[in-house]
């Protein structure tokens, strides 16, 4: 009996303590669409307990991050610009603790098969997902190419695609992960891209700025920052292991995210500085 008790005690102390839960959040609205898909993909790569947290209101999202620990959150430059123009402060007031990586996403410019080209004297509609600089892009296309486009704000890439397919939009910005399967089905044509490196289906020579006269580079990408907030080195390692994992990087590439700056030893301060600088320039050029 004494032997069994001793054995039980040894086994008890040999079992490692369960890791605390890591929370994942995207700052912005709506709390749906590609950002939540990315968060869930990252969660799938975190060893141990983790959960995606969602708060509808931007202020509640920031408050949650400010009071919680063991959390990884993402911010996107275009989303922050949009909220700022709406008078919403969507960045935590404290300095980001651990900027551990960044990557970018962009869109193709698509139409329904049979839709005419953008030509002078022809009126056409242009839809862009919430937060994208669609109004600025259309304004410059019109001004420098003698076009007559009309901007239509739309909630998401999926809604843009649906409206194009249904004939409710002539042209629209749709992310490659959604547009290219629809291209393969013959439901969309995407003759232009905003991705500087292009894709296999829409190559770099179809970059928008190479095919139209423009006063500024409208080939914009959304830059995502990945930020960890934790006081526990073990929790930070769990987050970094997931962010830097081959499987997460492969998932991002599969859905045409690019410029993956996701590796140990990344200069987080430089990423943050460049992100803020790019955001300021983008706001002045395309949102004002």
- Which of 211, 230, 258 is the last residue before a domain boundary? 211
More confident residue, 68 or 96: 68
| CA–CA distances in Å: residue 270 to residues 101, 153, 237, 252, 257 | 10, 33, 21, 22, 20
115 with 197, same domain? yes
Instruction: Collect all residues with Cβ–Cβ distance below 8 Å to 284 and sequence separation of at least 6.
Output: none
The pLDDT value given to residue 91 = 77
pLDDT in tens, 79-109: 888 777 777 777 777 677 799 999 988 889 9
Q: What share of the chain is helix, strand, coil (3-state, %, to 5)?
A: 40, 20, 35
Most confident of 31-35, 130-134, 271-275: 271-275
Task: Give domain status of residue 7, yes or no.
Answer: no
Most confident of 26-35, 93-102, 260-269: 260-269
Look at residue 9 and tell me whether its pLDDT is greater than 60: no
Do the Cβ atoms of 206 and 261 come closer than 8 Å?
A: no
More confident residue, 156 or 264: 264
29 with 100, same domain? yes
Dist CA 125 CA 116 (whole Å) = 12
Q: Which of 114-118, 121-125, 134-138, 274-278 is predicted with the least confidence, judged by mean pLDDT?
A: 274-278
More confident residue, 195 or 221: 195
Dist CA 54 CA 41 (whole Å) = 15
Q: What is the pTM of this model?
A: 0.81
113 with 100, same domain? no
147 with 133, same domain? yes
Do the Cβ atoms of 138 and 287 come closer than 8 Å?
A: no
Instruction: Collect all residues with Cβ–Cβ distance below 8 Å to 103 and sequence separation of at least 6.
Output: 223, 224, 226, 252, 257, 258, 259, 260, 261, 262
CATH value at residue 88? 3.40.190.150
Instruction: Collect all residues with Cβ–Cβ distance below 8 Å to 275 and sequence separation of at least 6.
Output: 77, 102, 223, 225
197 with 233, same domain? no
> What is the span of the domain harbouring residue 143?
108-211
176 with 245, same domain? no
Look at residue 114 and tell me whether its pLDDT is greater than 80: yes
Task: Give domain status of residue 262, yes or no.
Answer: yes
Q: Can you tell me which residue has the tokens 């242009």?
A: 126
């Amino acid at each position: 009996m004494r032997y069994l008790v001793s054995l039980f005690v040894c086994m008890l102390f040999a079992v490692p303590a369960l890791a605390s839960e890591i929370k994942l959040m995207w700052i912005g609205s709506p709390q749906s669409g590609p950002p939540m898909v990315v968060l869930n993909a990252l969660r799938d790569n975190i060893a141990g307990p983790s959960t995606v947290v969602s708060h509808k209101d931007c202020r509640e999202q920031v408050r949650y991050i400010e009071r919680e620990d063991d959390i990884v959150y993402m911010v996107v430059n275009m989303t922050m610009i949009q909220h700022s123009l709406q008078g919403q402060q969507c960045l935590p007031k404290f300095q980001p603790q651990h900027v551990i990586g960044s990557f970018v996403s962009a869109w193709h410019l698509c139409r329904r098969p049979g839709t005419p080209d953008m030509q002078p004297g022809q009126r056409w509609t242009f839809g862009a997902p919430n937060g994208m600089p669609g109004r600025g892009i259309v304004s410059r296309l019109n001004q420098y190419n003698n076009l007559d486009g009309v901007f239509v704000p739309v909630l998401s890439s999926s809604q843009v695609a649906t409206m194009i397919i249904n004939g409710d939009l002539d042209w629209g910005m749709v992310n490659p992960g959604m547009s290219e399967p629809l291209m393969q089905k013959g439901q969309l044509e995407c003759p232009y891209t905003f991705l500087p490196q292009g894709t296999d289906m829409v190559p770099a020579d179809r970059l928008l700025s190479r095919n139209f006269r423009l006063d500024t580079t409208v080939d914009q990408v959304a830059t995502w920052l990945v930020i960890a907030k934790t006081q526990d080195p073990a929790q930070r390692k769990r987050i970094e292991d997931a962010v830097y994992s081959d499987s997460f990087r492969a998932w991002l590439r599969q859905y045409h995210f690019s410029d993956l700056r996701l590796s140990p030893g990344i200069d987080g301060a430089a990423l943050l500085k460049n992100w803020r600088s790019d955001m300021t320039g983008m706001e002045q050029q395309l949102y004002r």
